[in-house]
A and B are shown apart, each in its own frame.
Chain A
Amino acid sequence: MDPFISITLAVFLPFLLAAAVPAVEKLIKHKVGWFASFVALVSFLLVVSLIPLVMHGEHFQASVEWIPSVGVEYSIYVDGLSILFGIIITGIGIIIMSYSNGYMGHKEDLPRYYQWLLLFMGSMLGMVFAANTIMLFIFWELTSITSFMLIGYWRNRPESVYGATKSLLVTAAGGLFMLAGFIVLRSITGTFDIPTILQNEMLIQAVRGHELFLAALILIFIGAASKSAQGPFYIWLPNAMEAPTPVSAFLHSATMVKAGIYLVARVHPIFSGTDAWFILISGTGIITMLVAGFLAFRQIDIKALLAYSTVSQLAYIMTMYGYATYQEPGIGVAAATFHLLNHATFKACLFLVAGIVAHEAATRDITRLGGLRHEMPITFIIATIGALSMAGVPPLNGFLSKEMFYESSLEMGHALGSPFTFIIPALAVAGGVFTFAYSIKFIAAIFLGKRPEKGLPSHIHDPSFVMIIPAAFLAGLIILFGLVPSIAVQNLVEPTASSIMMETQHLHVKLWHGLTGSLVMTLITFLLGIAVYTRYDSIAKWQNSFNRKYPFISINYIYDGLVNNAKDTLKGFSSFMQPGPVRRYVLALLFLTIVLFAVPFLKLSAGFIPTLNFDVAPYELLVFFFMIIAALGAAMLPKYLPAVISLSALGYLVGLLFIYLSAPDLALTQVLVETLSTIIFLLAIVRIPQTFKERITPSLFMRDALIAVSVASMVFILLINATQGIIPPFESLSYYFIEKTLPLAGGHNIVNVVIVDFRGYDTLGEISVMCLAALGVYNLIHSRGESE
């Protein structure tokens, strides 16, 4: 089949068939899980069929037009890296969905569960095969949403809802930063297409030399870190453990949390080999590895322990991808890739064991578990294989990739020179020691020691085959990859490393390769690990007491403060911002206008106030004087009726002024309008209380007066300016009328001609307005009569 069609099918079949899940559930009831597993199997086969295509570091690319206006295409890119992820996603998908058949009770809302699982799987596949950063982002956010729905699957538990919300906020917001980073990258390179950048050395150099290099790197890394729970963004992952355990195994250990790693690997050729890359990626990785590994000690919930362990293990991988120098941009790439694969096997296996234990023993609290090795022998063996692989014990696959981690740490330390020659391997060993200790704890707390007398069901046994086989299969893979690493290395790791390094890579991974530096480091890890394990409980106790004493030294504390208490924190601010009374609104608006006005005014005040010409007749002054008194009366009289009378007096005085200025038509209009509005006013106020209820304090009065005076002076200045006449290139409209009145309308009285000819329609409009207003008045009077 054409690879383009294979990939498109692999990605979109889960989407399409997710829609069919409810119908299928009607047919085959609770067996619907097998249908979902089958869909995963189809996708898996489609992906596997493409392995030969990329076996030797080749790649395949195809696209169809989508939104050409902004340079976005539907395009896929298949190389070793995306195939590796595709296989992990679909492979673990099959295992998880089969396992869920045993894990999920038949009374649960199964269609919803499998629907979201399938949607998640499709989104995840879409993300790793996307050639285009925008497509990548879209699928990236879809995985956040599907994860949100799956974490919150048990809707009635507040913890589920809290965990779901937290994961959505952190990962979706991180995704937005990543998008910004992609856009910065596009502004440098001019394309959203990743392969185009990867295959063009010039573009890569342009990115590295660009001033926005650091901005792009940091923004993209924020996205990666939030998804892969690195650095301060780790906080969502432990809370995400409220999801059903298969979901945790699938999303929060094997696949979704590796999306960040995928992104780092994907952009590796662009950014790697710079100091910023090493400091940012490896720096964050090393700190996260140590802190999360250390914090795992105080966890008493099996899944929480595994969550912290996941954070720490992801940090290993991150660190290894970060190992880079200018000469050797890919010191840790092969090791990281191999560990990525191995982690997916052993961590998923451990989660499945956690699910089995919780399913059979009805608790995940390690203080209440113990001694189950007799009752669940098969589970015990599987758990031991998984945990020892995580601890890095030979001959399991975890041992191999941890050796490679140590080896690359030595190499990186060597490349950096003293004092890093020692520091970096030492930090790596410290991470290994923590891992070793909590891995042993995982086995010991559940299966070894004595069975607690109270709290556990009396009959505990290995679960049905439906649940045991998927876990056993993973355990088998762990051993297989450990004994015969070449199967995984040649088919998956080498093509991936080749595609990241952009040149063919050959690896030699063997169980025994002599007494090397890394083997010595492994031995030190075991010795120190056993030593730390003996002090395990006291370390946990110390952590708890530290946390009680200093609760604020915690990122969760900040998150809760920011997000959950946001309501209280913001309440004061919000209520200040939305006062309510309309007077405040008007006040704010006026105040702002004054401020805005003051800016140009102060800037250019020189030309703003023209010289005034006070040539006013004394009787006009008298009218002005009365107008001022009337205005003050309208503003200050305590009762509505006198205030309204005062206001109309002002209006009539304006009319009088128009008569003095020889504009009888204006005066007439003014008097009419004034009469009308006075009548409406009077009719309206008889229905409301006659005095103002609100008390006006002197300060309030002063404030209002100040605003009023400011606005008035603003308008005054504007008017003075406006009356300066017409600015030179234009001439007054009156010339037009003087010239045209006689020839065009045959009239001598310009005012008449304007009213009935030039502005005839306006006059008609004014008349209709007057009629309408009169009708309104009539109605008001009429309705008054009715109500009485």
Chain B
Amino acid sequence: MINLTLLAPELTLIGTGLAVLLIGLFLGTNAKKILGYLASLGVLVSLVLVLMSLGREDMLFNDTLSFDALSQFFKLVFLSVALLVSIASIKYTEGNSHTEEFYSLMIFATAGMMFVASANDLIVLFVAFELASLATYALAGFEKKNPISLEASIKYFMIGSLSAALMLFGISFIYGATGTTSIPGVAENIDLLLGSPMGLLSAVLMIAGLGFKIALVPFHMWAPDTYQGSPSVVSSLLAAGSKKMGFVAAFKVFMIALIALQAEWTTAFAVLAVITMTLGNVVALSQTSVKRMLAYSSVAQAGYIAMAFVVMSKTALAGAILYALSHGFMKAGAFIATAAVVYMVLSEKKDSETPDDIDNFRGLGRRMPVTALCMTIFLFALAGIPLTAGYMSKFVLFASTIEAGLVWLAVIAILNSAISLFYYAKVVKYMYFLPSDGEKITEPIPYTFAMLIAVIFVLVIGFWSEPFLYWAMEAAKVLI
């Protein structure tokens, strides 16, 4: 008998998505606000269900879905981000007649991410991956009348389809050589890949395909355009959630299925990690759009996380996994804070083309004190300032790198952190030190509420990281 209780979070989520979609049909535009609450509730219930399932281990559907510490940890990441996004979106979708589409797409994307986290079979992984991707393509272009949003969506879609093709190609080679699509099965039959050039080739194709979602340089080019052009709440889902899906998929594909090819892909990841963090940070320095700056910062952060593929120790993986969680809160929070600023700018000047320009952050400390304080905490956390989640995860990750004897890699990463401090501090400087003659305004409650949740977690992980680190370690044990 299949034990469906483990699948309860996913089922709840999908049920919520369908319910939102159907109920929306019968509601007038003004009444659609309730959908946001409904969606948030569904996500919250799903989150609680995942929390309750922590520590259980099982397989479902002929071993194509696995439930273990790794999958449940990442589901928590996705659901936390989804919760923040859906709360914040209550404000964003206010008065929009397409609210039900927004929420159902967001929920289906999250469900896709959750299935990726549980996937134990390359085909399931691919399908779940595409479920999440297709939903986010549409979300990126949610503002149908806004050419920038459309451009963002089209770019994302085109590059996304191309890399999906590459990934599928890679999977087909793995299948052709090993005769199975099961992830542990591939690892068992890996001898067949080792001897043939197909092994290398499939690793290359998988890196290209997954590198896109993770936004590793040089597969990152869509990311800044898309994050900048999409609605901020969607950017936060993309940067904080969807990117982590790429990581969990990459963990499964490389560290379980293709572990025997480690010698081949470690070098590739070392090069990519270094290029990614350096380019991300350097290009972020000269951005004037805050969303674009955050996008490049995400690129750089992906570079840090990718270090785990080079170090390959349990602590490093735990660091990377903890980083995924922390980054989820920090980045989602930062994008939501930006969304609040965009909202403020647009409510004053309707046709502003660059509402997220750094100039609009002038004097924010006075104009929107809560938003500015939260943003400061997120930015400092992203920079890795102590007693925040960003510091703890960076610390674990960098420390494990040094302990593995890769001092050069750690030094590059630390130099990069130092560079990043500059552009994060710049935003803080604009918010607190530069004057603005704008009025003080009331901060929209949904945005503020979402930000405060994120701030609490950023600080709790920073102060009291033990339980989070414990589960990250458990998750890492699944991989190594």
Contact = CB atoms under 8 A, between A and B. Distances in A.
A476 B399 CA distance: 48
Interface in A681-732: 718, 721-722, 726-727, 729-730
Q: Secondary structure of the B side of the interface?
A: helix
Interface stretch (B135-143, B232-240, B347-355, B462-470): B462-470
Given A66-B466, A67-B392, A608-B197, 4 more contacts: A69-B469, A179-B395, A586-B158, A593-B204
Nearest to A725: B176
Contacts of B192: 727, 729
Contacts of A567: 285-286
A693 to B, nearest CB: 16
A180 B425 contact: no
A134 B396 CA distance: 11
6 pairs of A and B residues whose beta carbons are closest in the complex? A173-B418, A600-B200, A730-B179, A138-B386, A604-B197, A585-B221
Interface in B134-180: 154-155, 158-159, 162-163, 166, 169, 172-173, 176-177, 179
A570 B285 contact: yes
Interface of B: 154-155, 158-159, 162-163, 166, 169, 172-173, 176-177, 179, 192, 196-198, 200-201, 204-205, 207-208, 212, 218-219, 221-222, 224-225, 279, 282-283, 285-287, 315, 318, 380, 384-387, 391-392, 395-396, 398-399, 402-403, 405, 407, 410-411, 414, 417-418, 421-422, 425, 429, 432-435, 465-466, 469-470, 473
A573 B207 contact: no
Interface of A: 66-70, 134, 137-138, 141-142, 145, 152, 155-156, 160-161, 164-165, 168-169, 172-173, 176-177, 179-180, 183-184, 186-187, 212, 215, 563, 566-567, 570-571, 573-574, 577-580, 582, 584-586, 588-590, 592-593, 596-597, 599-601, 603-604, 607-608, 718, 721-722, 726-727, 729-730
B283 A168 contact: no
A586 B163 CA distance: 10
Q: Secondary structure of the A side of the interface?
A: helix
Among B200, B205, B279, which residue has the most Cβ atoms of chain A within 10 A?
Answer: B200
Contacts of A177: 414
Contact of B159 (A156, A586, A726): A586
Nearest to B159: A585
Contacts of A593: 166, 204-205, 208
A603 B197 contact: yes
Contacts of A570: 282-283, 285-286
Contacts of B197: 600-601, 603-604, 607-608
B162 A589 contact: yes
Contacts of B385: 141, 145, 172
Given A592-B218, A599-B204, A134 B395 contact: yes
Contacts of A579: 221
A70 B399 contact: yes
Among A142, A184, A600, which residue has the most Cβ atoms of chain B within 10 A?
Answer: A600
Contacts of A578: 221, 224-225, 283
B222 A600 contact: no
Nearest to B422: A169
A572 B224 CA distance: 17
Contacts of A180: 398, 402, 407, 410-411, 414
A566 B286 CA distance: 8
Given A176-B417, A179-B414, A585-B159, A184 B402 contact: yes
B219 A600 contact: no
Contact of A722 (B176, B200, B425, B432): B176
A580 B225 contact: yes
A186 B283 contact: no
Contacts of A169: 418, 421-422, 425
Contacts of A718: 169, 173, 201
Nearest to B202: A600
Contacts of B421: 168-169, 172-173
B162 A586 contact: yes
A574 B410 contact: no
A563 B426 CA distance: 12
29 contacts: A69-B470, A70-B396, A134-B395, A138-B387, A145-B385, A168-B421, A176-B414, A180-B402, A180-B410, A180-B414, A183-B399, A184-B402, A186-B403, A215-B407, A563-B422, A566-B286, A566-B422, A571-B286, A574-B285, A582-B155, A585-B158, A589-B163, A590-B162, A592-B208, A593-B204, A596-B208, A722-B173, A722-B176, A727-B176
Contacts of B407: 180, 184, 212, 215
Contacts of B177: 727
A187 B425 contact: no
B386 A156 contact: no
Given A69-B473, A180-B414, A577-B279, A186 B399 contact: yes
Nearest to B421: A172
Contacts of B435: 155-156
A578 B204 CA distance: 24
Contacts of B417: 176
A164 B422 CA distance: 12
A335 B414 CA distance: 35
B402 A585 contact: no
A454 to B, nearest CB: 33
Contact of A573 (B283, B399, B433, B465): B283
A566 B387 contact: no
A762 B255 CA distance: 31
B158 A161 contact: no
A67 B414 contact: no
Contacts of B469: 67, 69-70
A165 B221 contact: no
Contact of B200 (A142, A165, A580, A599): A599
Contact of A582 (B158, B212, B287): B158
B399 A69 contact: no
A441 B473 CA distance: 62
Contacts of B465: 67
B179 A600 contact: no
Contacts of B396: 70
A708 B318 CA distance: 42
A597 B414 contact: no
B159 A582 contact: yes
Contacts of A573: 282-283
Nearest to A149: B432
A187 B403 contact: yes
Nearest to A592: B218
Contacts of B286: 566-567, 570-571, 574
Contacts of B470: 69
B204 A596 contact: yes
Contacts of B176: 722, 726-727
Contacts of A604: 197, 200
B476 to A, nearest CB: 11
A184 B398 CA distance: 11
Contact of B402 (A70, A173, A187, A730): A187
B425 A165 contact: yes
A385 to B, nearest CB: 38
Contacts of B434: 155, 161
A745 to B, nearest CB: 20
Contacts of B200: 599-600, 603-604
Contact of A183 (B173, B222, B403): B403
B319 to A, nearest CB: 9
A152 B318 CA distance: 38
B425 A589 contact: no
A176 B448 CA distance: 32
B179 A727 contact: yes
Nearest to B380: A145
Contacts of B432: 152, 155
Among A69, A161, A186, A718, which residue has the most Cβ atoms of chain B within 10 A?
Answer: A69
Contacts of A574: 282-283, 285-287
A589 B208 contact: yes
Contacts of B208: 589, 592-593, 596
